[in-house]
Amino acid sequence: MQNRRAFCRTTGLSAGVALGSGLWTEPSACAAASRSRLPLGTTRAPARVTSEKRVGGRAVDLTVASPAMHRSLKVRLLLPRGWSRTAERTWPVLWVLHGGNCHYDAWTRNTDIAELADRSDVIVVMPEGGYAGGYTDWWNYGRGGTPAWETFHLTELRVLLEERYRAGRRRAVVGQSTGGYGALIYSARHPGMFRYAGAFSPFGSTLTPGAPEVLMTGLTGLGPFTDKYAMWGNPAFQRGVWAAHDPVSQAVRLRGTKLHISVARNGRRGPLDPKNAQLADPAEAFCWYTTKPLLARLKQLHIPVTTHLYEDGTHSWVYWQRELHRCWPTLMRVLGA
């Protein structure tokens, strides 16, 4: 297991935050301010699987042609024992989201999730979320269009899994770094879709003072000609779009979803880090800075949340592997798996 950072490295902390979750999407509260040309729930044509490849054990890699994204993308599935495409039953589904500088295979490369899944009666879905994709349908100055990660994941891919791979309606979602943000915002924007949301070292707010600047700086890691306003617009002039993708602004919509949030209180070298690891980690410090407002808002709303706020630790896979093990039993109970 590698002890790598799961955030985009373009300008240190800035890139780490913006790219750490693949970036953003738009919420229903301000749908009029930021509407995709392919609204969630409707696509011009269904996504289709163009290839399947066994990659060891019960892991299968799909290549999915996405109309919303205008290209093909990879998705890794971990299928349970006894799974069959023609089975009369369905299986509960665990969505696992990667950070902003990783790809769909990050969790199987860096953790033992395949071994955990092998002992559980659950389908694990690990979709491509793009390099700094943001787990959002990009605003694109009100034109919508591609990239449309939220539509790809929660409409196209979800329907495809239910129609072809016996995926059921009991769902949970977890993620690390930007993927942790994705778990939170997907659950908030689609109340009831996920019974459980686990966010490991997420950035928990997008409008906390300083956060927009950090997040937009991270977008420049996509290339010198990337428009930092394309995802959500200007945070002052398109504040409604930003709020629609802000877990704090959308926190009330998390009511009814079982929540687990973990992050280090100090981005310092911790007990699981190698002795030669850097002494301070600004990415983890930023995650704590943006998660505190979310926890305060959840408390204000009397929405229960399980937390693991450990004192020291870096933005690293060794900590996210530990968190996966901490929440796995609860995850399986919630899913009935």
- DSSP for 51-90 reads EEEE-STTEEEEEEEETTTTEEEEEEEEPPTT--TT-SS-
Confidence grade of residue 222 (pLDDT, cut at 50, 70, 90): low
- Residue 113: exposure state from Cβ atoms within 10 A (0-12, 13-18, ≥19): buried
Other C-beta atoms within 10 Å of 138: how many? 26
Q: Quick one: what percent of the chain has pLDDT higher than 70?
A: 85
Contacts with 46 (C-beta within 8 Å, 6 or more apart), sequence order: 67, 156, 159, 160
| pLDDT at residue 16 in the model | 39
| pLDDT at residue 38 in the model | 42
Radius of gyration of the chain (CA): 18
The pTM score is 0.87
- Residue 118: exposure state from Cβ atoms within 10 A (0-12, 13-18, ≥19): middle
| pLDDT at residue 223 in the model | 64
Q: Any bridge partners for residue 172, and if so which?
A: 94, 196
Helix orientation angle between 13-20 and 211-219, rounded to the nearest 10 degrees = 80
DSSP 101: T
Contacts with 176 (C-beta within 8 Å, 6 or more apart), sequence order: 6, 97, 98, 99, 200, 201, 202, 317, 320, 323
Prior bond of 147 cis (ω within 30°): yes
Which tens digit of pLDDT belongs to each residue from 177-213?
999 999 999 999 999 999 999 999 999 999 999 999 9
Q: Please compute the mean of the pLDDT values over residues 17-34 and round it to a whole number.
A: 32
Which tens digit of pLDDT belongs to each residue from 291-326?
999 999 999 999 999 999 999 999 999 999 999 999
Q: Could you give all domains of the chain from N- to C-terminal order, each with its CATH number? A: 13-335 (3.40.50.1820)
Which tens digit of pLDDT belongs to each residue from 100-154?
889 999 999 999 999 999 999 999 999 999 988 899 999 999 999 999 999 999 9
- Residue whose C-alpha is closest to residue 290's, from 204, 214, 175: 204
Is residue 81 within 8 A of residue 114, CB to CB? The reply is no
Q: Please, what is the average pLDDT of the chain?
A: 87
Whether pLDDT at 25 is above 70: no
Cα dihedral 248→253→256→259 (10° resolution): -30
Distance between CA atoms of residues 15 and 125, nearest Å: 26
